[in-house]
């Protein structure tokens, strides 16, 4: 078990997350064929409630542990580092048990919130069963997240991401095998099959937790675990205060985003109804924009999430040493990675929007149109997410609150006016919502970047240099992918042929972009010469220098 550098950790985390996202997208196809539409609805009910509750435990606390562990590790306060893990476990355990009891006891009330007194579909009792089944995950997943944060804080990124892969593989295996056996072999009710499927997340959490414990136990020598009982000069109260002061802002921002997403969906539907769309059309467009199109863009998110895993420990290490130049350099590199990786991905998804949407969900009147613009909105959101992570790792919580809520208010305020404006200009009115998101996110970015420049004298010349070098590769890649897509369009008539043709376009586009950015040294600027050469040597694309 070895520590990972910033770029190496980001690449490893991103690739692991891409693999996890691909698995997450693929397993839905056989699972839905097993449980059907009503079973799929039960699964959604369970995860909707679970997601809201689990975010309280897993949004801020793991990153808080990662930050504090990194700080104490840098200061060689190894006893305090271990105490941080123990105190974090205690806080999360109490919180997890309380939330588990609340979710288990009030499962019936949650079921009523979904369907009320309606009949003809899933019953209250069936929804109650699946919610109670998934509630057990609250007893292990938060503790697993704390363990991951502990390892990430010490820059053991690969072990943490490996545990995520194990968790996903075990979970999907139980979902598919368990639901199939329950429904098709033992002929149980669909609700029991879904209950087994959602309970799989609990078993998967245990498997991943055991893996991390074994890795830590077998690598004690590199974990900087103190061999004496001598305590560092920091009290438990101080550590707990640090954990809470860092995690609470993250939780607040996460809750704010969840609340906004709910409001945004409501505004989309109301705006479309006002513009003359039918209720069914408005609901369809709203669901595509809020759920289905973003799912296809999950791969664009992986780089930002991978960066968030590796960024905070490195930032904290530099902050402890008061090395602000290194913080600025790492920050520019972070944004550069998102732009260089995320922008061509977003452009590729946009160019192949009709084919990709149909390949995933079947033909949709609105799906491909909406997917043309959504990836760029997600790219803006990713940039804002990483900048927010940096601000929080530097304890700039007031700036985080101000930039986040200002952006959200502007976004919500502009939704309907921009929908009306787009409609009058002859543009798809629902594009107005995406434009509003981009504007709101841009305002948040400007506030955050201005704060970093003012308080820490950050410079952004490196970003401008990256953007300049991106122009030619992006134009050539887009032109070739567009031409290739037009040429292959005739075979875009089944899901299999769409998959093959989209794969060809993606491979050619990525290869063209990679070659040009290698030639103009953009890859070296972002990833570093050493890491780029390491990749080239590994794939025998460059001869090793003796």
DSSP designation for 27? T
pLDDT at 419: 95
pTM, whole model, 2 decimals? 0.72
Q: Which two tokens stand for residue 153?
A: 């804080």
CA distance 539 to 535: 6
Question: Is 290 in contact with 43 (CB distance < 8 Å)?
Answer: no
pLDDT at 350: 95
pLDDT at 546: 47
Other residues' Cβ atoms within 10 Å of the Cβ of residue 533 = 16
Closest CA to 226 of 77, 70, 68, 79: 79
Helix axes 324-351, 6-26, angle to 10 degrees: 30
**At a CB cut-off of 8 Å and minimum separation 6, what does 385 contact?**
304, 308
Question: Is 465 in contact with 525 (CB distance < 8 Å)?
Answer: yes
Question: Is 176 in contact with 39 (CB distance < 8 Å)?
Answer: no
Coil, strand or helix at 457: coil
Other residues' Cβ atoms within 10 Å of the Cβ of residue 479 = 11
pLDDT at 222: 65
CA distance 209 to 140: 8
Closest CA to 312 of 74, 21, 17: 74
Q: How far, in Å, are 161, 424, 507 from residue 431 at the CA level?
A: 36, 12, 29
Distance of CA 494 to the CA centre of its chain: 30
How many residues belong to the chain?
Answer: 546
Task: Enumerate the H helices of 75-218 as residue ranges.
Answer: 78-105, 107-115, 124-135, 141-153, 157-180, 190-218
Instruction: Note down pLDDT in tens along the chain; length 546 residues.
Output: 555 555 555 566 666 767 777 777 677 778 877 887 677 778 877 877 787 778 777 777 887 888 888 888 878 888 888 898 899 899 999 999 999 999 999 999 888 876 666 566 678 899 899 999 999 999 999 999 888 888 877 777 778 888 888 999 999 999 999 999 999 999 999 999 999 999 999 999 999 999 998 988 887 766 666 666 678 888 889 999 988 887 887 777 777 666 666 667 678 878 988 999 887 788 678 777 876 788 788 777 666 566 555 655 666 667 777 788 888 888 888 888 888 888 999 999 999 998 888 887 777 788 899 999 999 998 998 888 888 878 877 878 889 889 988 998 999 899 999 999 999 999 999 999 999 999 999 999 999 999 999 988 889 988 899 999 999 999 999 999 999 988 887 776 777 788 888 889 999 999 999 999 999 988 888 877 776 777 777 666 666 554
Q: Which two tokens stand for residue 17?
A: 């997350």
CA distance 69 to 149: 8
CA distance 484 to 281: 33
Q: State the number of CA atoms in the 13 A half-sphere of 347 facing the CB.
A: 22
Question: Is 314 in contact with 322 (CB distance < 8 Å)?
Answer: no
Other residues' Cβ atoms within 10 Å of the Cβ of residue 37 = 9
Q: Which two tokens stand for residue 546?
A: 């003796």
**In the 3-class helix/strand/coil scheme, how is 269-301 assigned residue by residue?**
HHHHHHCCCCHHHHHHHHHHHHHHHHHHCHHHH
Question: Is 114 in contact with 45 (CB distance < 8 Å)?
Answer: yes
Question: Is 164 in contact with 217 (CB distance < 8 Å)?
Answer: no
Q: Which two tokens stand for residue 429?
A: 């009115």
Closest CA to 84 of 313, 209, 244, 239: 239
CA distance 43 to 34: 12
CA distance 357 to 377: 17
Closest CA to 26 of 193, 203, 176, 201: 176
Helix axes 190-218, 28-58, angle to 10 degrees: 60
Give 3-state DSSP helix, strand, coil % of the chain, rounded to 5. 85, 0, 15
Return the sign of the alpha-carbon dihedral for residues 354, 360, 366, 370. Answer: negative
Question: Is 364 in contact with 358 (CB distance < 8 Å)?
Answer: yes
CA distance 143 to 385: 24
CA distance 391 to 67: 12
Q: Output the DSSP codes for 62-89.
A: HHHHHHHHHHHHHTT-HHHHHHHHHHHH
CA angle 191, 195, 199 (to 5 degrees): 170
Helix axes 298-320, 6-26, angle to 10 degrees: 150
């Amino acid at each position: 078990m070895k520590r990972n550098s910033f770029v190496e950790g980001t690449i490893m985390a991103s690739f692991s997350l891409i693999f996890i996202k691909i698995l997450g997208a693929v397993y839905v196809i056989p699972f839905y064929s097993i449980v059907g539409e009503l079973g799929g609805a039960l699964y959604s009910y369970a995860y909707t409630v679970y997601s809201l509750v689990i975010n309280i435990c897993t949004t801020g606390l793991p990153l808080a542990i990662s930050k504090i562990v990194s700080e104490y590790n840098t200061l060689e306060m190894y006893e305090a580092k271990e105490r941080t893990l123990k105190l974090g476990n205690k806080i999360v355990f109490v919180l997890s048990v309380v939330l588990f009891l609340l979710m288990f006891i009030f499962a019936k009330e949650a079921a009523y919130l979904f369907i009320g007194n309606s009949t003809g579909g899933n019953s209250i009792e069936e929804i109650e069963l699946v919610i109670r089944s998934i509630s057990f995950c609250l007893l292990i997943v938060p503790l697993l997240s704390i363990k991951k944060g502990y390892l990430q804080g010490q820059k053991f990124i690969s072990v943490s991401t490996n545990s995520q892969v194990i968790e996903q593989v075990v979970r999907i295996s139980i979902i598919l095998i368990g639901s199939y056996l329950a429904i098709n072999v033992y002929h149980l009710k669909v609700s029991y099959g879904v209950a087994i499927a959602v309970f799989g997340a609990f078993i998967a959490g245990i498997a991943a937790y055991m893996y991390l414990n074994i890795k830590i136990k077998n690598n004690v020598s590199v974990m900087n675990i103190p061999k004496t009982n001598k305590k560092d000069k920091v009290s438990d109260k101080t550590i707990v205060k640090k954990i809470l002061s860092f995690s609470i802002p993250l939780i607040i921002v996460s809750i704010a985003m969840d609340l906004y997403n709910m409001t945004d969906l409501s505004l989309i539907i109301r705006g479309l109804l006002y513009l003359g769309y039918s209720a069914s059309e408005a609901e369809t467009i709203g669901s595509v924009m809020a759920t289905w199109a973003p799912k296809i863009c999950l791969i664009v998110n992986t780089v930002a999430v991978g960066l968030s895993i590796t960024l905070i420990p490195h930032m904290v290490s530099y902050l402890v040493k008061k090395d602000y130049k290194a913080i600025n350099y790492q920050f520019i590199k972070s944004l550069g990675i998102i732009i260089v990786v995320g922008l061509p991905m977003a452009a590729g998804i946009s160019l192949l929007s009709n084919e990709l949407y149909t390949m995933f969900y079947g033909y949709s009147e609105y799906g491909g149109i909406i997917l043309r613009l959504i990836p760029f909105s997600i790219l803006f959101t990713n940039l804002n997410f990483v900048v927010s992570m940096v601000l929080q790792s530097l304890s700039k919580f007031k700036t985080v609150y101000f930039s986040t809520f200002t952006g959200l208010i502007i976004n919500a305020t502009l939704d309907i006016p921009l929908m009306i404006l787009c409609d009058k200009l002859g543009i798809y009115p629902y594009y107005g919502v995406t434009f509003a998101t981009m504007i709101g996110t841009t305002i948040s970015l400007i506030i955050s970047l201005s704060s970093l420049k003012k308080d820490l004298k950050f410079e952004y010349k490196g970003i401008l240099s990256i953007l300049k070098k991106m122009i030619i590769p992006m134009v050539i890649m887009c032109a070739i992918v567009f031409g290739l897509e037009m040429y292959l369009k005739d075979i875009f008539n089944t899901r299999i042929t769409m998959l093959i043709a989209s794969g060809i376009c993606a491979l050619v586009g990525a290869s063209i972009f990679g070659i040009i950015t290698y030639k103009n040294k953009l890859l070296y600027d972002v990833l570093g010469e050493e890491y780029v050469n390491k990749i080239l040597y590994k794939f025998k694309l460059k001869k090793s220098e003796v």
